[in-house]
Amino acid sequence: MAHTEPASEATLLVTCPDKRGIVAALAQVLHGHGGNILDADQHTDVGAGQFFQRIRVDLSELHTDRRSLEGAIGEVAERFDMTWRVARPQVRKRVAIFVSRVDHCLWDLLLRHRSGELACDLVAVISNHAELEEVAQQFDVPYHVYPVTADTKRSQEVKERELLEGLGVDLIVLARYMQVLTSEFVEAFPNRIINIHHSFLPAFMGGRPYHQAFERGVKLIGATAHYATADLDEGPILEQDVVRTSHRDSVRDLLRKGRDLERTVLARAVRWHLEDRVIAYANKTVVFA
């Protein structure tokens, strides 16, 4: 595969009703304008009759300009009733992390970002408690505290939204943020809030899932990263993983094993979103991983 500089690359994501000719039409448009397809992946949901594709293309030798190319893609999209967008890896997404007092996912994300594994700009850590401010300071990420009570939840969310909008945040990561967001907040960021839930959904929704798992005597526990929606723990799932347990494990053992899963599952989901590998539909996702 030819190497290209990121500035010359773009990723095209498309969704439309499945029919013949979609792949050929997109390839023809890209080729006709001088684009070079670096890789392409596609999926058809036969039951739903929906087609999905992710195309990564080198635009360094375009015969026209990008506006003309996108206009041509738009013409194809109109023919196929297609939803589409072009993402450019050189335009880094701006990310805010929400936390409470539990720190393992925050540490993991900050370390992965510092190592270059997560290509984004971390612009804020937001919390309902002050305890983790020193963690954020070690990575030079601004830390904002918005204490939340039943009486102040909505007013604090208004302030948080104002901050997020002022910072131009593209993605919110709930790194064990132990608050239920209001539907108004979630709906303001559709498919742009990733939550980590400490169980293998749809099992053990809600609070204290490891305690629920212990009481049930399960032999596997899991973690689930999903987009947050107005329905608690029911949003489109991006990634899941599991680890074996036994009758010898205490709740403390489950918590320890679960924390390892939470870190890796959340990091993979965030990375796939940042790399424009996810298409959400019908409360599900297609992940071109």
In this predicted structure, which of 112-116, 178-182, 198-202 has the lowest mean pLDDT? 198-202
Share of the chain above pLDDT 70, in %: 94
Q: Within 10 Å of residue 285's Cβ, how many Cβ atoms?
A: 22
Q: Within 10 Å of residue 133's Cβ, how many Cβ atoms?
A: 14
CA distance 1 to 12: 18
Indicate the pLDDT class of residue 60, thresholds 50, 70 and 90: very high
Task: Scan for tokens 């209001």, then name that residue.
Answer: 182
Indicate the pLDDT class of residue 221, thresholds 50, 70 and 90: confident
Q: Which domains can be identified in the chain, with CATH numbers? A: 6-87 (3.30.70.260), 93-287 (3.40.50.170)
Residue type, 212: Q
How distant, in Å, are the alpha carbons of 10, 125, 208 from that of 122?
Answer: 22, 8, 29
Rg (CA), the chain: 21
Kindly name the residue from 58, 108, 170, 233 that is annotated as catalytic: 233
Q: In what order do the strands lie in the sheet with 50-58?
A: 36-45, 50-58, 9-17, 83-87
Q: Fill in the DSSP letter of residue 180.
A: P
Those residues with Cβ within 8 angstroms of residue 215's Cβ, 6 or more apart along the chain or in another chain: none
58 flagged as catalytic: no
In DSSP terms, which residues pair with 50 in a beta bridge?
Answer: 17, 45
Query: Average pLDDT, stretch 59-87?
Result: 94
* Highest mean pLDDT, choosing among 5-14, 106-115, 236-245: 106-115
Indicate the pLDDT class of residue 3, thresholds 50, 70 and 90: very low
Does pLDDT of 35 surpass 90? yes
CA distance 161 to 271: 23
Indicate the pLDDT class of residue 5, thresholds 50, 70 and 90: very low
Query: Average pLDDT, stretch 168-183?
Result: 95
Residue bearing the bigger pLDDT, 219 or 123: 123
pTM of the entire structure?
0.91
